[in-house]
Structure 1
């Protein structure tokens, strides 16, 4: 079962095709698509109306964002004339994921600093500072990670004899505290549409400013999305958003583990952007869809609760098969608008509000509380094995474990038959990227979905699902002592203290929700990291993961 519209293809097989047959006619009769594009806030029920009423402007962005193109191109020309070609983006969640995908797909360099890990922050500050332009993106202006990153760059510029006002571009909502503060400081300020939530903001100033300054063709991106807009707004059985949304939210029983497989798409890293869109939009009220990004790793197994999504090249016309499979292809701008619409459809079918994220704030508050108490990872370890301190949260399940492999096994013993393992690594995602290989080892060993997220980045993505979605996960948190801590200028805490509070706060909220969490804290970078990877290898029988 396939539909092709303006270069976007959605092809379903098995239970995915059955979901299309079951739900799309009703969605057409209810005029869901045209009502969505008319910004009808009643589509998700009375409880969602307040939030939906101020979060639906994204449907018109392919047209309303056009004035930004000239403004951004003018800024880029100004910076280029000054020899400033290194663009750094300080932002979290949707503010960083969309520009990252846009720039990687366009093949233009963009440094994304979406971490409070001291080593990663220091490495970014030391990279081509004389040629650097910094984009600071924060919708509310109150995101502590982004505020801390901004302060670090301001201090670095001043120390180098550079006026920060010549190098910093701020993207924020009009009237936010950051808006007023930045204008007073003389920074370049670009306001975003305030009626768009972060994960739907790819085609707002949050997605377009850093991407355009880095050299991506943002006008072409908007063209691609605009070519799809009328199709996605049509109340028709061939509407690809209705079909994809029906697949995501309408299989019976619900296949709630959404496996995102890069099957040749030209949209580089697209699964990471979709991951946030799905997880933060749907994971709440004990319901939701867990996105499992497997990249280009071959997928050979589908369990009864998995939906396989193949992200394909536009010209891939090969057959789709499998118990529950959907293949999706399209240019980047078109695909972004398609998925945003489809997830809003899925939210209606699942019965949740796709525009709020209540448990993201709970983790933020827990981190703030710990910072106020002056604590982070200071609670006593259950035991220490070599260069790894072992702690737990969410129940008394560690048993007699006295080594890292034994503790890992104790955690896996808590995994329900329909469950998943979430690996949450609060490390430098650039320098320590090889750690992500343990996801594959665990997935092969468990024959269950395994996710991997870099902290604190994932807190704005799967972090919502972990706490608000079904209670069928177990959680492995990995933290590390930095090579050297780094002060946050103008604050009474360091980056190291902040990320320790973030990880501890996340673990506390998970534990409060009854989720089992194993916390491995590496005290010696080289030896401890190798020890964790070797422990995973020994447990899973995967061979060396180094």
Structure 2
């Protein structure tokens, strides 16, 4: 609640950091983080782009080997500042990212490698000790009392912001206006955060628990940050708000009665087509929350407004919006699998329920029995998908969880699949790239209402990358994360099917798209 005042009071340290980064001549900055440590920096990078005179900001939040290599190929190791960002300092992914890139930088900078690294972490963490030992350029403290997904306005968001050239003082001063507007002394009916939270919480209780985010093109990535905030805060004890991001807005007849639409309109660069589509939804009787955002320096206001709203919505749902009990379950399952790999050099063997068209299907015994009954004599990829989709009812949602490289081509292919399901089944749809969604929407998928139908996608990595100091590779970690995630979904009684696409990912995605279309026809 006091973070803007604190940041303004210590603004000089951020100004000096920005100055130091410019003087050192860094061309790029790469955040190595997950969830609350990576999503705000990603929103800033996508919103502001490259700011003249400052490094270009990139964000790595995937253990997919192809994605890691893609980032490495994009930057000059000798001119990149690496921001290792982890509140606890013990999160698996940032630690192995750091191990990998520190070794790579040592090859070009020798014993000066530490001067290319910054840590953002809570005081006394394991990462702080590593940063001190490896002579990092700077160490910036987190605020231990602020949870990861609520930390956008703390150093986890503002250190990358300063490095990429954002005027953090201006951003904080604007944000302070929202902080004052949301103060406890402001009456409820005039308090923007509380009003939004009341709407979200009451709508969810009334059955409209899918918050569908529509954001202007200039701030489109804000939805990725909101996904984590809403899902991880509210999705527990069988309750929750399911955020729907990057789903293309369609005609009103595609939607059921389980949605609330949040239209985040950038007033300085609105999209006329979006305006007319949202008007049509409203005329058709769909509830639409309209939020006008003056310009991109008002982003901080939205971070704060939605944080207050999420806490309020949590109180209405009678859950604790500040914990994430089911995230830990996936981490434990993954740790067990990576430990097994360290001992034996491989993950435990698995038996598919079906092999067809170069694709393998996996699930647990309960789902397998139900799907076998529904497929009857059609034991094919199309038959299984048709059976799986037939389990969707009104008020359910479909989530496509893809453990593949997050890039434009893959996103386009998977968006086709999600929209085909949405348009045919008239259900809300989510698309998450693994493992990043584990630190975001994964909590709601496992701990929230049992209204999700899940299709997990995995593949064999064409090229793998080693994790320095470990027997396991990045590909093995990703595979363990996917299996751990799926295991917890099925333990929670979720309707889940895993599609393993093999080594030729592009061909596998084409096969999947064709099979999905056939299953829906």
What is the TM-score when the length of structure 1 is the normalising length? 0.84
Alignment match of 1:283 (pick from 217, 232, 235): 235
**Does 2:451 correspond to 1:501?**
no
Alignment match of 2:125 (pick from 173, 176, 195): 176
Q: Which has the higher contact order (CA 8 A, sep 6+)?
A: 1
2:496 corresponding residue in structure 1 = 517
Deviations 1:220-275 (CA, angstroms, capped at 9, x unpaired): 2211210111111113411111211111001362311111122x374331111111
1:326 corresponding residue in structure 2 = 289
1:81 corresponding residue in structure 2 = 23
Alignment match of 1:240 (pick from 169, 172, 192): 192
SS at match of 2:257: coil
SS at match of 1:244: helix
**Does 2:68 correspond to 1:121?**
yes
1:99 corresponding residue in structure 2 = 41
Shift of 1:88: 0.6
**Does 2:5 correspond to 1:63?**
yes
**Does 2:325 correspond to 1:373?**
no
CA distance in 2, matches of 1:273, 1:223: 21
Alignment match of 1:411 (pick from 379, 384, 388): 388
2:464 corresponding residue in structure 1 = 485
Gaps of 5+ in 2: 51-55
Q: 1:310 to 1:376 in 2, by over 3 A?
A: farther
Q: 1:209 to 1:295 in 2, by over 3 A?
A: farther
Quick check: 1:117–1:427 contact (8 Å CA) kept in 2?
yes
Shift of 1:70: 2.6
Quick check: 1:390–1:520 contact (8 Å CA) kept in 2?
yes
Quick check: 1:278–1:343 contact (8 Å CA) kept in 2?
yes
* Count of aligned residue pairs for this structure pair: 482
Shift of 1:283: 0.3
SS at match of 1:294: coil
CA distance in 2, matches of 1:352, 1:270: 24
1:346 corresponding residue in structure 2 = 313
Shift of 1:295: 5.0
Greater helix share, structure number: 2
**Does 2:509 correspond to 1:529?**
yes
2:53 corresponding residue in structure 1 = none
Quick check: 1:261–1:299 contact (8 Å CA) kept in 2?
no
CA distance in 1, matches of 2:230, 2:401: 18
Alignment match of 1:303 (pick from 228, 253, 256): 256
CA distance in 2, matches of 1:73, 1:481: 45
SS at match of 1:161: helix
Quick check: 1:377–1:504 contact (8 Å CA) kept in 2?
no
CA distance in 1, matches of 2:348, 2:507: 20
Alignment match of 1:421 (pick from 398, 414, 423): 398
2:428 corresponding residue in structure 1 = 449
1:149 corresponding residue in structure 2 = 97
Quick check: 2:362–2:497 contact (8 Å CA) kept in 1?
yes
1:392 corresponding residue in structure 2 = 363
